[in-house]
Chains A and B, each alone.
Chain A
Amino acid sequence: MAVAQDNARPEGCSSSPFWTIARRDSLAGWLFIAPQLIGIIIFVLVPLGLVFWYSLHEWNVLANTFTYTGAQNYQMLLDDPNLLQVLGSTAIFSAGLVILNMSLALLLAVLLNQKLAGITIFRTLFFSPVVVSLVAWTIVWGFLLQKNGGINGMLQLFGLEGPNWLRGETTAMISVIIVQVFKNVGLNMVLFLAALQGVPNELYEAARIDGTPRFRQFRRITLPLISPTILLTSIITIVGSLQVFAQIAVLTQGGPGLSTTVLVYYLYQQAFQYHFFGYGSTLSILLFVIVAVLTFAQWQLRKRIVFYED
């Protein structure tokens, strides 16, 4: 917005020409963002710095000692026998979640993009888990996944015997992934739906007239044109997958063993169950670095994957 320089005296202001219109506007700007900015500084940036500071200390809360140990915690990180498995679980969880979530969301979006009677009802129903309370959803699934719970009950009707879902290492991981996928896939589905509907119908008509087969239409027209949304959704989903906490805390508590202990949960355990605040902080930094790297990598990859329409 262009703003003119004004040296005339506005009423009620000081007599010096310091407070030009531009300057008054700048002040207003600063005042507007002040709450957010101060908030970010206090509640995000300062803690971020503190986390790094803590990670350099050995901190026994119970004994109330706080000793500077430099990079010792980081050394501990590298020597931690559990860390590899934790990172592995995190990778499996995130990858499984993202792949399943995105493909299911895309499939549902394509399916629901038809002009069928009552399609809006279906869309609402697929979306409903998104608004169900997270813990409520998790508890129900926990209930259904019990050895004698609803899922195994249904399987038994078909003569199949289901495993004790939450007690086996692989099945626990599968369970946790599935619970999270069905909770949030509706959101991605809606985003993909909007993107699909943004592709002009004429493009498909032109392809129809040319005789382009429908699979080719999807691959060469639909996918490229919704690729910006796919990229954005994948960034959000991947970053989100690294923050999944409640489901694991409620369903498996990281178990059995360490099989579902993802990094976030490991962090919580170390800091708030075992009271190793220093080491917990180190893990926080690790989490932060992973998120930052992944986001950055995806953002850079966008030039290769995404077609942008200016």
Chain B
Amino acid sequence: MAEVTLSRVQKSYGALDIIHGADLGIHDGEFVVLVGPSGCGKSTLLRMIAGLETITGGTIRIGGRVVNDLDPKDRDIAMVFQNYALYPHMTVATNMGFSLEHRGTSKAEIAERVNWAADILGLTQLLDRYPRQLSGGQRQRVAMGRAIVRNPQVFLFDEPLSNLDAKLRVVMRGEIKSLHQRLKTTTIYVTHDQVEAMTMADKIVVLNAGKVEQIGAPLDLYDRPANQFVAGFIGSPSMNFLDGTITENGFAAPGILLPLPQMSLEVNGRKAVYGIRPEHFALDDSGVPAQILLVEPMGSETQVTMKLGETEVTGVFRERILLSSGAIIRVLPDRANIHLFAVDGGPRLN
């Protein structure tokens, strides 16, 4: 069984804590994405699972075994690097087969495995080429092929799509996902792009400054973010936040009174942060007034920068808004999708 468990994993450089006690359980065959802003420690965590970084505290288990003191080669893992790490002086075929050479695998078997992997990834025509002759997407596939050939318990991906252009990223996302569906190998995938996380993951782990903020399925994180950080990180364009106070009549933000969510609490008079996603505004005459600052038509939807009271927010509407800056529209926040958070990045209140 290729499940991966992290218990109170910690990484420190001297007095500096990089990872503060991470707990994480990954089931066999799951596709887990570690996501967070630059410097949050996601790559460090991945490298600790790989064995490229030492573990200062806690335990990491792969397949039930504690691997803290095991060399990478004994952990039965394969890794796809951000910069592909292809050996420039070897052909695609040799690159993919290199890891099998020192294990005494026969040439015939190496060729068989390489051909199998190449077939899955569409690399059969490129087996005799050198990395410098390949495009970014092709190189990425070769890097994946090298990992597949090993047939390991766990795949580790370290921001593999960062160096590709936007269109290619979309294509490769789908390919990685379908590869996972086919091979069903446990996969741990690191990225800073929350769109990748949302579309690919069975489970997302949001990291911030070395701490695990929330673990859950993509839609759970979208619908019920545990704190303001996760709320602002997941979803694009990101959630709007308004500072204010919860009152009997609604949420009092500077210059405006907003409806409270359906499940209210006994926290009258408390200062809080009001969160509402751009896509959860509806154009409704019974709503609150908003002054338009900027209208950006995208074709399928319209993004509007507007002012609710004194706070600038973003709204995304299916309808075409043919008004210009300065006009007033009436918007209604969807009561089922209003989030309240404690101030200073605190946990959700509803």
Beta-carbon contacts under 8 Å, B190-219 to A: none
Residue numbers in A under 8 Å from B146 (CB-CB): 206, 210
- Chain B contact residue count (CB 8 A cutoff): 24
Residue numbers in B under 8 Å from A307 (CB-CB): 88-89
Beta-carbon contacts under 8 Å, A201-242 to B: 202-203, 205-213, 216, 220-221, 224-225
Residue numbers in A under 8 Å from B89 (CB-CB): 224-225, 307, 309
Q: B234 near A: Cβ within 8 Å? A: no
Candidates B51, B83, B103, B132; contact of A202 at CB < 8 Å:
B83
- Chain A contact residue count (CB 8 A cutoff): 20
Q: A118 near B: Cβ within 8 Å? A: no
Q: B176 near A: Cβ within 8 Å? A: no
In whole angstroms, how far apart are the Cα atoms of A310 and B131 in the complex?
A: 11
Q: Which residue of A lies closest to B94 (CB)?
A: A220
Asked if B52 and A209 make an inter-chain contact with CB atoms under 8 angstroms apart, the answer reads: yes
Asked if A210 and B132 make an inter-chain contact with CB atoms under 8 angstroms apart, the answer reads: no
Residue numbers in B under 8 Å from A216 (CB-CB): 101-102
Beta-carbon contacts under 8 Å, B306-340 to A: none
Q: Which residue of A lies closest to B84 (CB)?
A: A202
Asked if A206 and B73 make an inter-chain contact with CB atoms under 8 angstroms apart, the answer reads: no
Beta-carbon contacts under 8 Å, A145-178 to B: none
Query: Given A213-B102, A216-B102, A310-B132, A208–B52 Cβ distance below 8 Å?
Result: yes
Query: Given A216-B102, A309-B132, A310-B132, A209–B87 Cβ distance below 8 Å?
Result: no
Asked if A210 and B85 make an inter-chain contact with CB atoms under 8 angstroms apart, the answer reads: no
Q: A200 near B: Cβ within 8 Å? A: yes
Asked if A211 and B52 make an inter-chain contact with CB atoms under 8 angstroms apart, the answer reads: no
In whole angstroms, how far apart are the Cα atoms of A202 and B86 in the complex?
A: 9
Query: Which of A205, A210, A221, A224 is most buried by chain B, counting CB atoms within 10 A of its CB?
Result: A210
Q: Which residue of B lies closest to A209 (CB)?
A: B72
Asked if B132 and A200 make an inter-chain contact with CB atoms under 8 angstroms apart, the answer reads: no
In whole angstroms, how far apart are the Cα atoms of A206 and B145 in the complex?
A: 13
Candidates B52, B88, B99; contact of A210 at CB < 8 Å:
B99
Query: Given A224-B89, A307-B89, A209–B79 Cβ distance below 8 Å?
Result: yes
Q: B348 near A: Cβ within 8 Å? A: no
In whole angstroms, how far apart are the Cα atoms of A283 and B336 in the complex?
A: 97
Q: How far is the CB of A197 from chain B (nearest CB, A)?
A: 16
Asked if A211 and B99 make an inter-chain contact with CB atoms under 8 angstroms apart, the answer reads: yes
Query: Given A211-B73, A309-B132, A206–B150 Cβ distance below 8 Å?
Result: no
In whole angstroms, how far apart are the Cα atoms of A220 and B111 in the complex?
A: 19
In whole angstroms, how far apart are the Cα atoms of A209 and B50 in the complex?
A: 7
In whole angstroms, how far apart are the Cα atoms of A221 and B94 in the complex?
A: 12
Q: Which residue of B lies closest to A208 (CB)?
A: B72
Asked if A212 and B85 make an inter-chain contact with CB atoms under 8 angstroms apart, the answer reads: no
In whole angstroms, how far apart are the Cα atoms of A210 and B99 in the complex?
A: 5
Asked if A225 and B72 make an inter-chain contact with CB atoms under 8 angstroms apart, the answer reads: no
Asked if B99 and A200 make an inter-chain contact with CB atoms under 8 angstroms apart, the answer reads: no
Candidates B73, B88, B103, B132; contact of A208 at CB < 8 Å:
B73
Residue numbers in A under 8 Å from B79 (CB-CB): 205-206, 209
Q: B81 near A: Cβ within 8 Å? A: yes
Q: How far is the CB of B27 from chain A (nearest CB, A)?
A: 23
- What is the 8 Å Cβ interface bit string for chain B, positions 276-318, against chain A (1 contact, 0 not)? 0000000000000000000000000000000000000000000
Candidates A213, A221, A310; contact of B87 at CB < 8 Å:
A221
Residue numbers in B under 8 Å from A205 (CB-CB): 52, 79, 81, 85
Asked if B83 and A209 make an inter-chain contact with CB atoms under 8 angstroms apart, the answer reads: no
Q: B78 near A: Cβ within 8 Å? A: yes
Query: Given A309-B88, A309-B89, A209–B73 Cβ distance below 8 Å?
Result: yes
Residue numbers in A under 8 Å from B98 (CB-CB): 207, 210, 212, 220
Identify the 5 closest CB pairs spanning chains A and B, nearest first: A211-B73, A210-B99, A202-B85, A307-B89, A206-B85
Can you list 11 contacts pairing A with B, beta carbon distance less than 8 Å? Answer: A200-B85, A202-B83, A205-B79, A205-B85, A208-B52, A208-B71, A209-B78, A212-B73, A212-B98, A220-B98, A310-B132
Known: A208-B52, A210-B78, A211-B99. 11 other contacts (CB 8 A): A202-B85, A205-B52, A206-B146, A208-B51, A209-B50, A209-B77, A209-B78, A212-B98, A220-B98, A221-B87, A309-B132
